Amino acid sequence: MLGADCFSEEVSRIIHVLTGCTAVGKTELALRWAEANGAEIISCDSLLFYRGMDIGTAKPTAAEQARVPHHLIDICPLSGKMDVTQYVTKTRSVLADVWTRGRAVLVTGGSGFYLKSFFAPVADEVAVPAVLREELRTRLEQQGLAVLLAELRALNPAGLGALDTQNPRRVLRALERCRASGRTLVDLQAEFAAQPAPFADCTVRLCELVREKEELEQRIEVRVAAMLAQGLVAEVRGLLALGLKNNPSAAMAIGYRETIDFIEGHLAESELAPLIVKNTRALVKKQRTWFKTQLPPHQPVVAESALLEGLFAPPI
Protein backbone atom coordinates (compact mmCIF):
# COMPACT_ATOMS: atom_id res chain seq x y z
CA MET A 1 0.00 0.00 0.00
CA LEU A 2 1.04 3.59 -0.53
CA GLY A 3 2.04 5.65 2.45
CA ALA A 4 -0.58 8.01 3.88
CA ASP A 5 1.64 11.00 3.05
CA CYS A 6 1.03 10.29 -0.64
CA PHE A 7 -2.58 11.37 -0.23
CA SER A 8 -2.06 14.68 1.56
CA GLU A 9 -2.88 16.78 -1.54
CA GLU A 10 -5.95 16.67 -3.77
CA VAL A 11 -3.91 15.57 -6.80
CA SER A 12 -2.61 12.61 -4.82
CA ARG A 13 -5.99 10.94 -4.57
CA ILE A 14 -7.04 11.05 -8.22
CA ILE A 15 -6.26 8.70 -11.11
CA HIS A 16 -7.55 9.90 -14.47
CA VAL A 17 -8.15 7.04 -16.92
CA LEU A 18 -8.50 7.70 -20.64
CA THR A 19 -9.51 4.69 -22.71
CA GLY A 20 -11.17 3.87 -26.00
CA CYS A 21 -10.94 1.55 -28.99
CA THR A 22 -7.81 1.03 -31.04
CA ALA A 23 -7.09 3.99 -33.36
CA VAL A 24 -9.66 6.26 -31.71
CA GLY A 25 -7.07 8.94 -30.96
CA LYS A 26 -6.11 8.37 -27.32
CA THR A 27 -2.40 9.16 -27.70
CA GLU A 28 -2.66 12.77 -28.90
CA LEU A 29 -5.53 13.65 -26.57
CA ALA A 30 -3.63 12.14 -23.64
CA LEU A 31 -0.57 14.23 -24.48
CA ARG A 32 -2.57 17.44 -24.73
CA TRP A 33 -4.46 16.79 -21.49
CA ALA A 34 -1.29 15.86 -19.62
CA GLU A 35 0.51 18.97 -20.86
CA ALA A 36 -2.42 21.18 -19.82
CA ASN A 37 -2.77 19.59 -16.38
CA GLY A 38 0.81 18.95 -15.31
CA ALA A 39 0.31 15.20 -15.53
CA GLU A 40 2.46 12.18 -16.26
CA ILE A 41 1.18 9.23 -18.29
CA ILE A 42 0.98 5.61 -17.17
CA SER A 43 0.46 3.14 -20.01
CA CYS A 44 -2.36 0.61 -19.79
CA ASP A 45 -1.46 -1.24 -22.99
CA SER A 46 -0.21 -4.79 -22.55
CA LEU A 47 1.99 -4.67 -25.68
CA LEU A 48 3.75 -1.41 -24.84
CA PHE A 49 5.50 -3.20 -21.98
CA TYR A 50 7.78 -4.94 -24.49
CA ARG A 51 10.92 -3.36 -25.88
CA GLY A 52 11.18 -3.48 -29.66
CA MET A 53 7.44 -3.72 -30.33
CA ASP A 54 7.15 -0.16 -31.59
CA ILE A 55 5.54 0.18 -35.01
CA GLY A 56 2.94 -2.57 -34.71
CA THR A 57 1.73 -1.26 -31.35
CA ALA A 58 1.61 2.42 -32.37
CA LYS A 59 3.83 3.05 -29.36
CA PRO A 60 4.25 6.76 -28.54
CA THR A 61 7.31 8.00 -30.41
CA ALA A 62 10.42 9.37 -28.76
CA ALA A 63 9.21 12.88 -29.59
CA GLU A 64 5.81 12.20 -28.03
CA GLN A 65 7.37 10.71 -24.90
CA ALA A 66 9.61 13.80 -24.68
CA ARG A 67 6.51 16.00 -24.44
CA VAL A 68 5.21 14.25 -21.31
CA PRO A 69 6.89 11.73 -18.97
CA HIS A 70 5.60 8.21 -19.70
CA HIS A 71 5.69 5.17 -17.42
CA LEU A 72 5.41 1.38 -17.92
CA ILE A 73 6.56 1.50 -21.54
CA ASP A 74 9.54 -0.64 -22.64
CA ILE A 75 9.87 -2.24 -19.20
CA CYS A 76 10.19 -5.87 -20.38
CA PRO A 77 12.40 -7.71 -22.83
CA LEU A 78 10.53 -9.77 -25.38
CA SER A 79 11.25 -12.85 -23.27
CA GLY A 80 9.78 -11.24 -20.15
CA LYS A 81 6.34 -11.82 -18.74
CA MET A 82 3.83 -9.36 -17.30
CA ASP A 83 0.62 -10.08 -15.47
CA VAL A 84 -2.01 -7.93 -13.80
CA THR A 85 -0.55 -8.42 -10.33
CA GLN A 86 2.82 -7.09 -11.48
CA TYR A 87 1.05 -4.28 -13.29
CA VAL A 88 -0.78 -3.18 -10.15
CA THR A 89 2.42 -3.29 -8.11
CA LYS A 90 4.37 -1.28 -10.67
CA THR A 91 1.55 1.21 -11.11
CA ARG A 92 1.29 1.86 -7.39
CA SER A 93 5.02 2.45 -7.26
CA VAL A 94 4.75 4.99 -10.09
CA LEU A 95 1.80 6.68 -8.37
CA ALA A 96 3.79 7.10 -5.18
CA ASP A 97 6.63 8.71 -7.08
CA VAL A 98 4.51 10.98 -9.28
CA TRP A 99 2.22 12.14 -6.49
CA THR A 100 5.13 12.81 -4.17
CA ARG A 101 6.39 15.25 -6.80
CA GLY A 102 2.99 16.97 -6.91
CA ARG A 103 2.13 15.85 -10.42
CA ALA A 104 -1.20 14.56 -11.70
CA VAL A 105 -1.62 11.09 -13.20
CA LEU A 106 -3.23 10.05 -16.47
CA VAL A 107 -3.60 6.35 -17.26
CA THR A 108 -4.23 5.66 -20.92
CA GLY A 109 -4.73 2.49 -22.96
CA GLY A 110 -7.29 -0.10 -23.84
CA SER A 111 -6.04 -3.47 -22.58
CA GLY A 112 -9.15 -4.74 -20.82
CA PHE A 113 -7.78 -6.85 -17.99
CA TYR A 114 -5.23 -4.22 -16.95
CA LEU A 115 -7.79 -1.45 -17.36
CA LYS A 116 -10.28 -3.25 -15.15
CA SER A 117 -7.79 -3.27 -12.27
CA PHE A 118 -8.62 0.40 -11.68
CA PHE A 119 -12.27 -0.41 -11.04
CA ALA A 120 -12.62 -3.96 -9.72
CA PRO A 121 -10.73 -6.94 -8.28
CA VAL A 122 -8.80 -8.74 -11.00
CA ALA A 123 -6.65 -11.37 -9.29
CA ASP A 124 -7.21 -13.68 -6.36
CA GLU A 125 -4.59 -14.75 -3.84
CA VAL A 126 -4.45 -18.45 -4.74
CA ALA A 127 -0.82 -19.39 -5.29
CA VAL A 128 -0.46 -22.17 -7.88
CA PRO A 129 2.78 -24.16 -7.55
CA ALA A 130 4.82 -24.33 -10.74
CA VAL A 131 4.85 -28.13 -10.55
CA LEU A 132 1.06 -28.29 -10.52
CA ARG A 133 0.77 -25.78 -13.35
CA GLU A 134 3.16 -27.78 -15.50
CA GLU A 135 1.42 -31.06 -14.68
CA LEU A 136 -1.97 -29.74 -15.76
CA ARG A 137 -0.58 -28.04 -18.86
CA THR A 138 1.02 -31.32 -19.95
CA ARG A 139 -2.19 -33.24 -19.30
CA LEU A 140 -4.16 -30.75 -21.36
CA GLU A 141 -1.79 -31.29 -24.29
CA GLN A 142 -1.73 -35.07 -23.96
CA GLN A 143 -5.25 -35.91 -22.77
CA GLY A 144 -7.33 -33.04 -24.08
CA LEU A 145 -9.80 -30.57 -22.64
CA ALA A 146 -12.56 -33.10 -21.90
CA VAL A 147 -10.45 -34.99 -19.35
CA LEU A 148 -9.52 -31.85 -17.41
CA LEU A 149 -13.10 -30.59 -17.57
CA ALA A 150 -14.37 -33.88 -16.12
CA GLU A 151 -11.93 -33.54 -13.20
CA LEU A 152 -13.00 -29.95 -12.64
CA ARG A 153 -16.69 -30.95 -12.56
CA ALA A 154 -15.91 -33.70 -10.03
CA LEU A 155 -14.29 -31.10 -7.76
CA ASN A 156 -17.27 -28.78 -8.15
CA PRO A 157 -20.52 -30.71 -7.50
CA ALA A 158 -22.40 -27.40 -7.16
CA GLY A 159 -21.50 -26.49 -10.73
CA LEU A 160 -19.00 -24.31 -12.58
CA GLY A 161 -20.95 -21.07 -12.60
CA ALA A 162 -20.31 -18.90 -15.64
CA LEU A 163 -17.03 -20.57 -16.58
CA ASP A 164 -16.47 -20.81 -20.34
CA THR A 165 -16.02 -24.57 -20.54
CA GLN A 166 -14.99 -24.38 -24.20
CA ASN A 167 -11.99 -22.20 -23.40
CA PRO A 168 -9.00 -24.43 -22.57
CA ARG A 169 -7.05 -21.63 -20.89
CA ARG A 170 -9.91 -20.77 -18.54
CA VAL A 171 -10.64 -24.40 -17.70
CA LEU A 172 -6.96 -24.93 -16.99
CA ARG A 173 -6.81 -21.86 -14.75
CA ALA A 174 -9.95 -22.92 -12.86
CA LEU A 175 -8.60 -26.42 -12.26
CA GLU A 176 -5.27 -25.01 -11.09
CA ARG A 177 -7.00 -22.82 -8.53
CA CYS A 178 -9.28 -25.60 -7.27
CA ARG A 179 -6.43 -28.08 -6.95
CA ALA A 180 -4.09 -25.57 -5.31
CA SER A 181 -6.63 -24.27 -2.80
CA GLY A 182 -8.71 -27.39 -2.15
CA ARG A 183 -11.83 -25.23 -2.59
CA THR A 184 -14.66 -25.02 -5.10
CA LEU A 185 -15.05 -22.38 -7.77
CA VAL A 186 -18.19 -21.09 -6.03
CA ASP A 187 -16.22 -20.47 -2.83
CA LEU A 188 -13.30 -18.91 -4.68
CA GLN A 189 -15.58 -16.66 -6.74
CA ALA A 190 -17.42 -15.44 -3.62
CA GLU A 191 -14.14 -14.64 -1.91
CA PHE A 192 -12.86 -12.89 -5.03
CA ALA A 193 -15.99 -10.75 -5.35
CA ALA A 194 -15.58 -9.57 -1.77
CA GLN A 195 -12.07 -8.22 -2.36
CA PRO A 196 -11.55 -4.48 -2.70
CA ALA A 197 -10.36 -3.20 -6.06
CA PRO A 198 -6.57 -2.66 -6.17
CA PHE A 199 -7.06 1.12 -6.34
CA ALA A 200 -10.10 1.36 -4.04
CA ASP A 201 -8.21 3.89 -1.89
CA CYS A 202 -8.04 6.30 -4.84
CA THR A 203 -10.58 8.36 -6.75
CA VAL A 204 -10.65 7.03 -10.31
CA ARG A 205 -12.10 9.28 -13.01
CA LEU A 206 -12.90 7.67 -16.34
CA CYS A 207 -13.18 8.97 -19.89
CA GLU A 208 -13.96 6.71 -22.86
CA LEU A 209 -13.15 8.31 -26.20
CA VAL A 210 -15.42 7.27 -29.08
CA ARG A 211 -15.87 7.86 -32.82
CA GLU A 212 -18.49 6.90 -35.38
CA LYS A 213 -17.95 3.42 -36.83
CA GLU A 214 -17.23 4.60 -40.38
CA GLU A 215 -14.73 7.21 -39.23
CA LEU A 216 -12.93 4.74 -36.99
CA GLU A 217 -12.70 2.20 -39.80
CA GLN A 218 -11.08 4.82 -42.03
CA ARG A 219 -8.60 5.66 -39.29
CA ILE A 220 -7.73 1.97 -38.97
CA GLU A 221 -6.98 1.73 -42.70
CA VAL A 222 -4.75 4.81 -42.51
CA ARG A 223 -2.96 3.48 -39.44
CA VAL A 224 -2.24 0.07 -40.99
CA ALA A 225 -0.92 1.67 -44.18
CA ALA A 226 1.33 3.93 -42.10
CA MET A 227 2.66 1.01 -40.04
CA LEU A 228 3.64 -0.90 -43.16
CA ALA A 229 5.23 2.20 -44.68
CA GLN A 230 7.20 2.78 -41.47
CA GLY A 231 8.70 -0.70 -41.63
CA LEU A 232 6.43 -3.12 -39.77
CA VAL A 233 7.71 -6.11 -41.74
CA ALA A 234 11.34 -5.28 -40.93
CA GLU A 235 10.42 -4.78 -37.27
CA VAL A 236 8.79 -8.20 -37.10
CA ARG A 237 11.74 -9.87 -38.85
CA GLY A 238 14.02 -8.43 -36.18
CA LEU A 239 11.71 -9.52 -33.38
CA LEU A 240 11.49 -13.05 -34.77
CA ALA A 241 15.28 -13.26 -34.51
CA LEU A 242 14.93 -12.25 -30.86
CA GLY A 243 12.40 -14.99 -30.11
CA LEU A 244 9.05 -13.30 -30.76
CA LYS A 245 7.29 -16.63 -31.25
CA ASN A 246 8.36 -17.72 -27.77
CA ASN A 247 6.04 -15.02 -26.41
CA PRO A 248 2.57 -16.15 -27.56
CA SER A 249 0.80 -13.01 -26.31
CA ALA A 250 3.09 -10.81 -28.35
CA ALA A 251 3.28 -13.05 -31.41
CA MET A 252 -0.50 -13.38 -31.63
CA ALA A 253 -1.12 -9.64 -31.37
CA ILE A 254 -2.90 -8.11 -34.35
CA GLY A 255 -0.40 -6.74 -36.82
CA TYR A 256 2.28 -9.14 -35.66
CA ARG A 257 0.58 -12.47 -36.28
CA GLU A 258 -0.42 -11.48 -39.83
CA THR A 259 3.08 -10.18 -40.57
CA ILE A 260 4.59 -13.41 -39.25
CA ASP A 261 2.34 -15.33 -41.64
CA PHE A 262 3.51 -13.13 -44.51
CA ILE A 263 7.19 -13.55 -43.61
CA GLU A 264 6.77 -17.32 -43.33
CA GLY A 265 5.09 -17.52 -46.73
CA HIS A 266 1.56 -18.25 -45.58
CA LEU A 267 0.17 -14.93 -46.76
CA ALA A 268 0.66 -12.92 -49.96
CA GLU A 269 1.91 -9.35 -49.66
CA SER A 270 -1.32 -8.08 -51.22
CA GLU A 271 -3.28 -9.81 -48.45
CA LEU A 272 -1.29 -8.41 -45.53
CA ALA A 273 -2.79 -4.95 -45.07
CA PRO A 274 -6.42 -6.02 -45.72
CA LEU A 275 -6.11 -8.83 -43.17
CA ILE A 276 -4.64 -6.57 -40.47
CA VAL A 277 -7.45 -4.08 -41.13
CA LYS A 278 -10.08 -6.82 -40.95
CA ASN A 279 -8.74 -8.23 -37.69
CA THR A 280 -8.37 -4.78 -36.16
CA ARG A 281 -12.00 -4.02 -36.95
CA ALA A 282 -13.00 -7.29 -35.26
CA LEU A 283 -10.95 -6.28 -32.22
CA VAL A 284 -12.67 -2.89 -32.08
CA LYS A 285 -16.06 -4.60 -32.10
CA LYS A 286 -15.00 -6.68 -29.09
CA GLN A 287 -13.57 -3.63 -27.35
CA ARG A 288 -16.82 -1.71 -27.73
CA THR A 289 -18.76 -4.57 -26.12
CA TRP A 290 -16.21 -4.86 -23.33
CA PHE A 291 -16.33 -1.14 -22.52
CA LYS A 292 -20.14 -1.30 -22.30
CA THR A 293 -20.28 -4.33 -20.04
CA GLN A 294 -17.12 -4.20 -17.94
CA LEU A 295 -16.52 -0.53 -17.15
CA PRO A 296 -18.45 1.43 -14.50
CA PRO A 297 -21.17 3.85 -15.66
CA HIS A 298 -19.68 6.68 -17.68
CA GLN A 299 -20.53 9.16 -20.41
CA PRO A 300 -18.51 8.48 -23.60
CA VAL A 301 -16.80 11.51 -25.12
CA VAL A 302 -16.93 12.01 -28.90
CA ALA A 303 -13.37 12.49 -30.10
CA GLU A 304 -14.19 15.23 -32.62
CA SER A 305 -15.73 17.46 -29.98
CA ALA A 306 -13.57 16.47 -26.99
CA LEU A 307 -12.49 19.43 -24.88
CA LEU A 308 -9.66 19.23 -22.37
CA GLU A 309 -11.73 21.04 -19.78
CA GLY A 310 -14.35 18.74 -18.32
CA LEU A 311 -12.95 15.66 -20.05
CA PHE A 312 -13.32 13.66 -16.84
CA ALA A 313 -16.71 14.95 -15.77
CA PRO A 314 -18.85 12.50 -13.72
CA PRO A 315 -21.51 10.46 -15.59
CA ILE A 316 -24.87 12.09 -16.20
Top mean pLDDT of 44-53, 166-175, 194-203 is at 44-53
- What are the extents of the domains in the chain? 4-121+197-305, 130-193
Nearest to 200 by CA among 54, 314, 92: 92
Is the pLDDT confidence value at 8 over 70?
A: no
- Taking the C-alpha atoms of residue 240 and residue 263, their distance in angstroms, rounded to an integer, is 10
* CA–centroid distance for 178 within its chain: 26
Is the pLDDT confidence value at 4 over 50?
A: no
Average pLDDT over residues 5-29: 80
Topology of 4-121+197-305 in CATH? Rossmann fold (3.40.50)
- Taking the C-alpha atoms of residue 166 and residue 217, their distance in angstroms, rounded to an integer, is 31
Is the pLDDT confidence value at 167 over 50?
A: yes
pLDDT in tens, 121-131: 987 778 899 99
Would you place residue 9 in the very low, low, confident or very high pLDDT band (cuts 50, 70, 90)? very low
Q: Among 1.10.3470, 1.10.20, 2.60.40, 1.25.40, what is the CATH number of 130-193?
A: 1.10.20
pLDDT for 124 equals 76
Mean pLDDT score of the chain, rounded to an integer?
92
pLDDT for 5 equals 36
pLDDT for 127 equals 85
Residue 146's contacts (CB-CB under 8 Å, 6 or more residues apart) are none
pLDDT for 161 equals 85
Average pLDDT over residues 66-86: 95
Average pLDDT over residues 218-245: 98
pLDDT for 315 equals 59
Average pLDDT over residues 26-46: 97
Between these two residues, 94 and 316, which has the higher pLDDT value?
94
Average pLDDT over residues 19-25: 97
- Taking the C-alpha atoms of residue 124 and residue 195, their distance in angstroms, rounded to an integer, is 8
pTM over 0.75: yes
pLDDT for 6 equals 39
| 23 touches 280 (CB < 8 A) | yes
